[in-house]
Structure 1
Amino acid sequence: MTSSAPGHVVARIGKPHALRGEVTVQVHTDDPEGRFVVGATFPTRAEAGSGVPRELTLASVRVHRGIWLLGFEGIPDRTGAEGLRGTRLLAPEESEGGEGDAWYEEDLVGLAAQSPDGEHLGEIVALELGPAQDRLVVRLASGREALVPLVEQLVPTVDVEQGHVVIDAPPGLLDLGQ
């Protein structure tokens, strides 16, 4: 896959947990035990003007009922944790390479969707984040929308610079939901 993202998404911060500044995270790494260690520092990607620091350092890590809970230096309470909601934790640049590619919705929306032979299929209108994998929302030429799992087998090319994605959909995938 072709990528222009600056870092791979390791996790997406969810809601606060309890009162001590911990947050739940949606894990996007195959090695959470290796990545989430006290003292690890992660570059962040958040909404402009959100006030989220450019990087966060882990102060605490634990798993509670199968959910990863992380605490960060400088985030002492629930109010601070709430301000982190939706922030993406990125892999530090020196460790990039093993995580797969990552894109942000703003990178993908508006890209043309085409088949492997170059046929115009439609346009990417959204990215839905899912627990197992993310999905592209494609507005087809017919006006209908289709969901395409953002996995290399189905989306072998994402070329932000050239303005298109290649969707190698098996028969019927783009017809689901008709």
Structure 2
Amino acid sequence: MPRTDNLENLVRVCVIGRAQGLHGEVNVLSYTDSPDERFARGSELVDGGGRTYRVRSARQFKRRWILKFSGVSDRNAAEALNGTTLYAEQTYENESEEDDVDEGIYYEDLIGMRAQLADGTNLGEVTDVQEAPAQLLLVVREPQGHESLVPYVEAIVPDVDLDNRILTLDPPAGLLQEH
């Protein structure tokens, strides 16, 4: 079982999202490069308060994982876990808090980035990342205050510059409300 007395020895494994179905399953946003091992039946994860979560089952659906934990038996219990970050002991030389989710980018790192065209035209700011069935969606607040949903796919988001906090977009006509 992971020890929570020293959080420095723990790595973030996932963040629990919305409930899945009626029987206590949850969607998780995975931050580990070893989900098959981290989400294996019987594996234990802990939250920041030291509560332990034992995995009963796990399955992958497209880009997300759906987990069932011991003691979480209905939708209400699953919904109560939404937003909970889970950790595990660091066990691999190459595993650390900085592990990649999508080519070196945590989805949460996208929030607050400036969105622009390749020529530098300001399109707004990324205010949220939402999970959709086909792909992730970036919520972009445009300069006039409108919010647009932008699919986080390479054809529309060809470049993400983490150092300068700039996300380059190549939006098709009509995707953004103000452009």
Contact in 2 for aligned 1:9/1:90 (Cα 8 Å): yes
CA offsets per residue over residues 20-52 of structure 1, 9 Å max, x none? xx43225769xx9945321445687xxxxx747
- Identity of aligned pairs, percent? 30
Counterpart residue type for residue 84 of structure 1? L
SS, match of residue 173 in structure 1: coil
Counterpart residue type for residue 118 of structure 2? P
CA 1:60/1:146 → structure 2, altered by over 3 Å: closer, same or farther?
same
Counterpart of 1:15 in structure 2 is 19
CA 1:89/1:167 → structure 2, altered by over 3 Å: closer, same or farther?
farther
Residues 1-178 of structure 1 correspond to what in structure 2 (within 5 A)?
12-15=16-19, 17-18=22-23, 22-25=24-27, 34=36, 36-40=39-43, 51=49, 53=51, 58-61=54-57, 68-72=66-70, 76-78=71-73, 81-87=78-84, 94=94, 96=99, 100=103, 101-104=105-108, 107-175=109-177
What is the Cα deviation at residue 59 of structure 1? 3.2
CA offsets per residue over residues 68-117 of structure 1, 9 Å max, x none? 44215xxx35587554223356897746558544311xx43432111112
SS, match of residue 174 in structure 1: coil
- Provide structure 2 residue ranges, at least 5 long, that are not aligned to the other structure: 1-10, 60-64
Counterpart residue type for residue 153 of structure 1? A
Tell me the matched-pair count.
Answer: 152
Where relative contact order (Cα < 8 A, 6+ residues apart) is larger, the structure is 1
Counterpart residue type for residue 85 of structure 1? N
Contact in 1 for aligned 2:26/2:68 (Cα 8 Å): yes
- Provide structure 1 residue ranges, at least 5 long, that are not aligned to the other structure: 1-6, 45-49
Provide the rounded CA distance (Å) in 1 between the counterparts of 2:83 and 2:152. Answer: 19
What is the Cα deviation at residue 166 of structure 1? 1.1
TM-score by length of 2: 0.57
SS, match of residue 152 in structure 1: coil
Provide the rounded CA distance (Å) in 2 between the counterparts of 1:143 and 1:122. Answer: 9
